[in-house]
Chain A
Amino acid sequence: MVRGGYRTAEAVRMTPPLRGRAVARRRRWDVPGLVAALFLGPALVILAAVVAYPIVATVWYSFFNADGTRFVGLDNYVEMFTGPATRRAILNNVIWVVVAPTAVTALGLLFAVLSERIRLAAAFKTVLFMPMAISFLAAGVTFTLVYEADKDRGALNAAIASVHDLFKPPSKYYGTSPREEAGLATVDGAVQTAAPAATSTPVLLPMVGLPPDRIPAGAAAAAPGVAGTGLRGVVWLDFSPGGGGRPGAVDAGEHGLPGMVVDAVRDGKVLATTRTDPAGRFDFPQLTGGGYTIRLAASNFTPPFNGVTWLGGSVVTPAIIAAYIWIWAGFAMVLISAGLAAIPRDALEAARVDGATEWQVFRRVTVPLVRPVLVVVLVTLVINVLKIFDLVYVLAPDPVTQDRANVVALQMYQTAFARQDGGLGSALAVLLFVLVLPAMLYNVRRLRGDRDR
């Protein structure tokens, strides 16, 4: 049994039993053509009718209009590269091909190296490989729960919210705003007086928009402000429960907003800072004269993290690619693990004896030795990613998001079946086909080399 539990070697090349003896002098024998035909017949008939003929037919259809009645030359191909929807799909496919295979291979390599150094490697590999058993559809359902935009329901947003609020806790007055007629302005999240404040009377800073359940427990009834000669005023919730209050005036039953950070600013410089008392009052006795701006600092209004709309807007493609990485990383890891296991231990030990650090060993010995495997993983994933369909279809179901996240394979399906345009749909299929042609030729060439061994 190989390390990590999987006999992956066989997966890479299904090594038949007793291979060695057979290789050198194998020769096949002549049989009547009829026998060969009987063995091959069913497979060839089905392949010819359901796979080979349609390839030719699809190329043919791609030169015709939507319902196949009129020859249009290259019009479908021109439209494919100029139409906004198809161009978006092609560009997204480029993003997919550049990002996804590289990320999956890099993570696969990292996890393979990690799993070489731990006990329970088999369990680790099982956990990472498990998503390969799940359909793109089920994975899509799984990730709609992860990506839910509401932070109370989406796991990812909830996780980000808890970290975010740990480092940047929301302030108790988030969501409040100045009463509109009060001559206050909101600048960069801070609330300030629009006109210079005078010291003759207390400055009134009426606020609205704080739900009753968020009024601080220590808040007292709002008071019109301390007596004195300095710069002073009151910040309060200008809302009388039960009604009857005058807008912009301190009324009975209205609450002061304690603990509000208040800056006194003149000529762009903060001259003093204080906090409001339980009745919402603040006082700068040392500041007299005029020309001050009273500013309630932005830190009073820091909102909590509200959740990212992952499956919409500009992050939708990266989000879907992340789900793809989750599905395929285990695949890359298992293949690369097989490659790592085949590296001669002496090569690594020799490098270590020569004083190489672990990073140098990894960079200079391990990676070059597993490079052939990395190439295979990468090429395999590129082919797979070119054909990506289900995951985008499921994670971006509504038309607007789907247009934004579109890829060629999905656009082909929508064009040919939802919009019944067989011509353009065929052209998109031909584009996919042309893109996998290099892989096809590579496969056939490899086969030549392997023949009759």
Chain B
Amino acid sequence: MSFMSTVRVPTLEPAGTAVTGPPRRSLLTRFVTRVGGGLLYAIVVIVALIWLLPTIGLLVASLRPASASAATGWWHVFTKPGELTLANYARILDNGDMIDGLWNSVLITVPSTVLVVAIAAPAAYALAWLDFRGRDPLFAVVVALIVVPIQMAIIPDAKLFGALGIFGSLTGVVVFHVAFGLPFAVFLLRNFFIGIPRDLLEAARMDGGTEYMIFTRVVLPIGWPAIASLTIFQFMFVWNDLLVAKVFAGASSKPITYVLQEQMGTFSSNVDVIAPGAFLSMLLPLIVFFAFQRYFVQGVLAGSVK
């Protein structure tokens, strides 16, 4: 998002380069720092616990039998660790709706992500490096579309998709996700591509490279960090979506978020079904988060304004 460019903080010096040697501190200051340090760590630990415990609670709850969850909270597991069981997960594997939901999430997320990158990258290249009339106004329109609320399109698109026969199908969900992923994707990639040194591209042209070759052999390899961040952002955005699915998915194309939301609605306190389901739905995003933390953070921060 272009908010990114308003933040003029990024060129970071390695920490501490400006300071030579520790500053001199009075004894009193050092004492206050010492005591304050204990308090500081106490606060940090409490904050970290507040941020960890809800998720740990969900995990533990997902491993407790239904009868235990109905009677007591997850922390009672510390008095009865023996009650932990994988039975809930075993039952989820037999739960057709949940498995279909997870599979549909994959079938929606993978094409939505691949298509957005595949369609946005050439467009971003054109907007960055090709000269044609109306290019800059066109880019301004793309930027404007980034913040358009999904609500602003779902009613007409539901009718449009109905006319095309893709309403209530995986295709419809994917098309909508691709469309609403494009503005941000084009913006992100264009701003990255535009920083590629002109000399590199010109050298390729001198060697007789076509625009297609320049794009695939020079721009894409250099642009891969941006593409990686975009891929992860788009993947997470689509995987975690509920609204688009609620509108465009049909009975046989519901992703896991939709299935879980419905099960929450039908039974009020079926922790033994909801908790493992929710945890399974979080598993992939969490793996992506921990495996590609850097690109994940970049992607999420950059795309947060959507």
Contacts and interface: CB of A to CB of B under 8 A. Distances in A.
Interface string B7-51: 111111011101100010000000000000000110110011011
Interface in A419-446: 422, 425-426, 428-430, 432-433, 436, 439-441, 443-444, 446
A18 interface: yes
A328 to B, nearest CB: 9
The 10 closest A-B pairs by CB, nearest first: A16-B195, A135-B240, A50-B179, A9-B10, A57-B156, A54-B153, A39-B126, A54-B156, A342-B9, A11-B301
A326 B157 contact: no
Given A130-B51, A439-B305, 4 more contacts: A47-B182, A136-B242, A376-B7, A450-B191
B151 A429 contact: yes
A382 to B, nearest CB: 10
Interface in A147-193: 148, 152-155, 158
B160 A49 contact: yes
A330 B47 CA distance: 11
Contacts of B178: 46
Contact of A36 (B132, B260, B271, B296): B132
Interface stretch (B77-85, B86-94, B280-288): B280-288
A128 interface: yes
A217 interface: no
Interface stretch (A137-145, A200-208, A226-234): A137-145
Contacts of A269: none
Nearest to A147: B54
A40 B122 contact: yes
B139 interface: yes
B149 A346 contact: no
A400 interface: no
A398 to B, nearest CB: 9
B148 A433 contact: yes
A370 B6 CA distance: 12
B7 A440 contact: no
Question: Chain A's interface: helix, strand, loop or mixed, by majority?
Answer: helix
B197 A21 contact: yes
B155 A40 contact: no
A371 B157 CA distance: 40
B143 interface: yes
A310 interface: no
Contacts of B251: none
Contacts of B47: 111, 114, 124, 128
B149 A118 contact: no
B123 interface: yes
B6 A155 contact: no
Given A133-B288, A380-B304, A440-B144, A342 B11 contact: yes
Contacts of B145: 47, 51-52
A53 B156 contact: yes
Contacts of A39: 122-123, 125-126, 130, 211, 215
A131 interface: yes
Contacts of B194: 16, 26
A165 B160 CA distance: 59
B264 A15 contact: no
Contacts of A23: 195
B155 A12 contact: no
B120 interface: yes
Interface stretch (A75-83, A258-266, A387-395): A387-395
B197 A443 contact: no
Max chain A CB contacts within 10 Å: which of B7, B129, B193, B240?
B7
Contact of A429 (B149, B182, B265): B149
A132 B157 contact: no
B75 to A, nearest CB: 7
Interface stretch (A93-101, A237-245, A286-294, A332-340): A332-340
A334 B297 contact: yes
A25 B198 CA distance: 8
A51 B43 CA distance: 46
Interface residues of A, number: 136
B44 A8 contact: no
Interface string B221-254: 0100110010000001001111100110000000
23 contacts: A11-B297, A11-B301, A12-B9, A14-B4, A16-B226, A39-B130, A47-B182, A50-B176, A118-B41, A124-B47, A129-B297, A137-B260, A137-B278, A138-B58, A141-B264, A141-B278, A152-B72, A338-B12, A339-B7, A394-B242, A432-B152, A436-B148, A446-B6
Contacts of B10: 9-10, 12-13, 15, 338, 342
Interface size class, chain B = 35 or more
Interface of A: 2-3, 5-19, 21-23, 25-31, 33, 35-36, 38-40, 42-44, 46-47, 49-55, 57-58, 61, 111, 114-115, 117-118, 124, 126-138, 140-146, 148, 152-155, 158, 326, 329-331, 334-335, 338-339, 341-342, 344-346, 349, 352-353, 370, 372-373, 375-376, 379-380, 383-384, 386-387, 389-390, 393-394, 397, 409, 412-413, 416-417, 422, 425-426, 428-430, 432-433, 436, 439-441, 443-444, 446-448, 450-451
Contact of A387 (B119, B149, B271): B149
A14 B9 CA distance: 12
B298 interface: yes
Contacts of B139: 447
A145 B14 CA distance: 43
A126 B265 CA distance: 32
Interface string B85-110: 00000000000000000000000000
B294 interface: yes
A141 B297 contact: no
Contacts of B50: 326
B149 A433 contact: yes
Contact of B240 (A126, A137, A370): A137
A155 B72 CA distance: 10
Nearest to B69: A153
B236 to A, nearest CB: 7
A424 to B, nearest CB: 11
B15 A145 contact: no
Max chain B CB contacts within 10 Å: which of A5, A137, A383, A409?
A137
B73 A58 contact: no
Nearest to B139: A447
B285 A443 contact: no
B73 A154 contact: yes
B205 to A, nearest CB: 7
